[in-house]
């Protein structure tokens, strides 16, 4: 269907409703996309923060266990050493659970690489812990102290350093998620602006078409009416439009044609009246001449009668 064949009311309502629906769809799309992006980013940040918190607790438990191992290695109180040993076993059991959770949640390659180093260092520390308790059980305090200082402590330092590196990897992942969320937010904003510009361009185009479809026939109608008012009845309007303006233009063209017919008929009538008036004037002139001739003839007849009367009188 051509645009000029649509009724004006439908054009106006269609343009208005189209823009409103377009704005609603654009707003809903942008809001939904932004909400989804923000939700995904928040979920990712919350998840990585929980993993960081778990890794920090793991490191804290490790430090506690190491402190107790060192304390048990140097103490001379067998009861205290036994309590340290029992507490260390409990902490190691808890660390095993935390470790299983962290290993299951590690997906990124850099996280897995850092976690492998932690697990390798932990294995060495656990072996050194067992060796420390073994020396402690043998009753060789000097050897125990020497092993704890020379071998166990460096392994612990390496273990804690690996845990710090793993936490740093998680923090780097968290920062990357935040940066990605910021980038997505900017992209969504840019996409929203672009879509708004597209919608604005479509609205301007529709407005231009609508104004053009209304102003053009109105200008034609005004020009024709001005011409008719000035006495020019030769204007003819040809329109294939099927809306109200097309009907108006065709009606104006028919009105102009009808006025031309009426003026032509009036002009013909005036010419006929003028011809009749001329004929009547000519007839009046002829009648006047005849009347004068008749009067002259009557005068001559009267004179003849008088002369005849006089002649008759003389003869008598």
How would you classify residue 47: left for phi > 0, otherwise alpha for psi between -120 and 50, otherwise beta? alpha
Residue 60, burial from CB neighbour count under 10 angstroms (0-12, 13-18, 19+) = exposed
55: DSSP letter:
H
In angstroms, the first-to-last Cα distance of the chain is: 117
Is 50 exceeded by the pLDDT of residue 253? Answer: yes
pLDDT for the residue 1: 46
Report whether 157 contacts 59 (CB < 8 A).
Answer: no
% of the chain beyond a pLDDT of 90: 2
Please write the tens of the pLDDT for every residue from 184-211: 888 888 888 888 888 888 888 888 877 8
pLDDT for the residue 5: 66
Average pLDDT, the chain: 80
CA distances from 175 to 45, 61, 170, 178, 223 (A): 9, 25, 9, 5, 70
In sequence order, the 6+-apart residues with CB closer than 8 A to the CB of 133 are 69, 72, 85
Please write the tens of the pLDDT for every residue from 149-160: 888 888 988 988
Does the predicted model carry a pTM greater than 0.85?
no
In sequence order, the 6+-apart residues with CB closer than 8 A to the CB of 23 are 199
Rank 75-79, 118-122, 248-252, 292-296 by mean pLDDT and report only the highest.
Answer: 118-122
In terms of Cα–Cα distance, which of 151, 109, 110 is closest to 132? 151
How would you classify residue 75: left for phi > 0, otherwise alpha for psi between -120 and 50, otherwise beta? beta
Q: Using DSSP, how many helices (H) and how many strands (E) does the chain show?
A: 6, 0
In terms of Cα–Cα distance, which of 139, 142, 154, 135 is closest to 66? 154
Measured between alpha carbons, how far is 132 from 181 in angstroms, rounded to an integer? 48
pLDDT for the residue 227: 80
Cα dihedral across residues 210, 212, 218, 224: positive or negative? negative
In terms of Cα–Cα distance, which of 22, 18, 24 is closest to 3? 18
Is 60 exceeded by the pLDDT of residue 161? Answer: yes
Overall average pLDDT of the 166-175 stretch = 88
Find where tokens 């309007």 sit. 237
Overall average pLDDT of the 1-13 stretch = 68
pLDDT for the residue 314: 67
CA distances from 274 to 26, 201, 270 (A): 76, 66, 6
Yes or no: domain 3-199 corresponds to CATH 1.20.120.30:
yes
In terms of Cα–Cα distance, which of 66, 128, 118 is closest to 92? 66
Domain ranges of the chain: 3-199, 233-316
Which has the minimum average pLDDT: 8-12, 14-18, 221-225, 264-268? 8-12
Report whether 98 contacts 54 (CB < 8 A).
Answer: yes
Measured between alpha carbons, how far is 162 from 157 in angstroms, rounded to an integer? 9
In terms of Cα–Cα distance, which of 104, 75, 100 is closest to 88? 75
Please write the tens of the pLDDT for every residue from 274-287: 787 787 877 777 77
Q: Where is pLDDT greater, at 289 or 182? A: 182
Q: Where is pLDDT greater, at 224 or 57? A: 57
pLDDT bin (cut points 50, 70, 90) of residue 4 is low
pLDDT for the residue 107: 80
pLDDT bin (cut points 50, 70, 90) of residue 316 is low
CA Rg, the chain, in Å?
A: 59
% of the chain beyond a pLDDT of 70: 95
Overall average pLDDT of the 18-29 stretch = 81
């Amino acid at each position: 269907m051509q645009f000029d064949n649509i009724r004006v009311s439908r054009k106006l309502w269609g343009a208005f409703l189209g823009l409103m629906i377009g704005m609603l769809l654009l707003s809903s799309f942008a809001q939904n996309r932004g909400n989804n992006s923000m939700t995904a980013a928040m979920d990712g940040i919350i998840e990585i923060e929980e993993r960081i918190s778990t890794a920090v607790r793991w490191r804290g438990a490790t430090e506690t266990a190491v402190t107790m191992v060192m304390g048990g290695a140097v103490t001379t109180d067998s009861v205290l050493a036994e309590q340290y040993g029992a507490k260390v076993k409990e902490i190691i059991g808890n660390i095993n659970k935390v470790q299983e959770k962290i290993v299951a949640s590690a997906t990124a390659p850099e996280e897995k690489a850092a976690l492998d180093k932690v697990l390798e260092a932990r294995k060495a520390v656990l072996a050194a812990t067992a060796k420390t308790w073994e020396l402690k059980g043998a009753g060789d305090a000097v050897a125990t102290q020497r092993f704890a200082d020379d071998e166990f402590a460096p392994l612990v330092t390496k273990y804690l350093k690996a845990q710090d590196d793993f936490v740093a990897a998680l923090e780097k992942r968290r920062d990357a998620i935040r940066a990605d969320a910021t980038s997505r937010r900017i992209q969504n904003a840019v996409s929203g602006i672009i879509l708004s510009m597209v919608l604005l361009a479509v609205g301007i185009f529709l407005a231009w078409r609508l104004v053009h479809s209304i102003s053009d026939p109105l200008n034609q109608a005004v020009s024709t009416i001005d011409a008719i008012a000035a006495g020019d009845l030769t204007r003819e309007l040809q329109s294939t439009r099927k809306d109200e303006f097309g009907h108006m233009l065709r009606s104006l063209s028919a009105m102009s044609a009808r006025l031309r017919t009426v003026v032509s008929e009036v002009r013909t009538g005036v010419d006929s009246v003028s011809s009749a008036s001329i004929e009547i004037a000519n007839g009046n002139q002829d009648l006047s001449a005849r009347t004068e001739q008749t009067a002259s003839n009557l005068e001559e007849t009267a004179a003849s009668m008088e002369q005849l009367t006089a002649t008759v009188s003389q003869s008598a």
